[in-house]
Amino acid sequence: MKNLSNVSVPEYLTKLQQFENFQIEFEGSTYPMPYSTMVIQDHKLQGLRENEERLVLFDKIIDEYVDDKNSYLDVGSNQGVFVRHFNDQFENVAGVEASPYYIDLCRFLYSDMDVFTHADLNQQPLSSLFSEPVDVITSLSMIEYIHDKKAFVEDLYNLTGKICIVEGHSEDFAKNLDHVYEGFLTSQDWTVVRRPEVTDPGLNAPPSAGRPLWVCIK
C-alpha cells in the first residue's frame, strides 16, 4: 500500500474519532484506531477496515474493464483512501461524503486535492451533484444507509460511464440482503457481475463471511 499523505502522524491520530474501544499504539502513545488502514509518512496504521487487499482487487477489476482512465468517483469516500489511491491513475477524481468530520479530515490529509464534496445523499440525490458520466464509480458499503435505494441505484446507473463497483455490508449474507441489493442493481440496463471475492467485514462488525461485491458494466 503506497504512502497516502505526509502530514504529521500524531496530529492525524489526535483528530480521529473513537470507535468503541479500538485503539492503536504509535511511538509510545495510544490513539483511536482509524476507520481505514492508512499509510502516512510511510507508517502503516491499522484501521477497522483493511485496504491493501481491496485496493489490489479494485486495481485488477478496473484494469479488466477500463482502458482509458479519465474520471473516477467514490460515493461515500470516508477518509478518502480510494480517491487518493486512484488520483495517480485517473485524470480526474472526486469523492462524495455525508460526514463533515470526514470531509475536514480529507482536507487535512490531502491539502493538495480539492475534490471532496460534502453531501448527504438522503437529502439530495447524486444526480444533482454531477452532470457528466464518470468512467469508474465505487460505492463501498453505502447502499445500506440510503433510504431510497431504487433511486440511488438509478443515479449510479445514469452516472456510470464504464463500470460501477458496489460493495455490500458485513451482515448482508446472514440477512439475505445481498439478494435484495442485487435485485436493485439488476433492475438497471447494465451487466451485473457478482464477484467471487468478498471483502473484509471490518473489526467493529460481527463475525461474518465478508461483504459481497458486484461490478456493474455499461
Other CB atoms within 10 A of residue 184 CB: 20
Rg (CA), the chain: 17
C-beta separation of 73 from 94 below 8 A: yes
Over range 55-59, report the average pLDDT.
Answer: 98
| pTM given for the model | 0.97
Integer CA distances (angstroms), 136 to 6, 99, 139, 151, 206, in order: 27, 22, 10, 19, 30
Angle at 119 between CA 15 and CA 74, to 5 degrees: 80
- pLDDT tens for residues 137-151? 999 999 999 999 999
Distance CA 170, CA 116 (A): 26
Q: Is the pLDDT of residue 177 over 90?
A: yes
Integer CA distances (angstroms), 101 to 87, 112, 196, in order: 22, 18, 34
C-beta separation of 113 from 88 below 8 A: no
Identify which of 144, 72, 142 has the alpha carbon closest to the alpha carbon of residue 113. Answer: 72
Distance CA 136, CA 67 (A): 11
What is the percent of the chain with per-residue pLDDT over 70, rounded to a whole number?
A: 100
Q: Is the pLDDT of residue 5 over 90?
A: yes
What residue type is 68 in one-letter code?
D
- pLDDT tens for residues 99-124? 999 999 999 999 999 999 999 999 99
Give me the residue label for grid cell 461474518. 208
Confidence label for 131 from pLDDT (cuts 50, 70 and 90): confident
Across the chain, mean pLDDT equals: 97
Residues 6+ positions from 183 with CB-CB distance below 8 Å: none
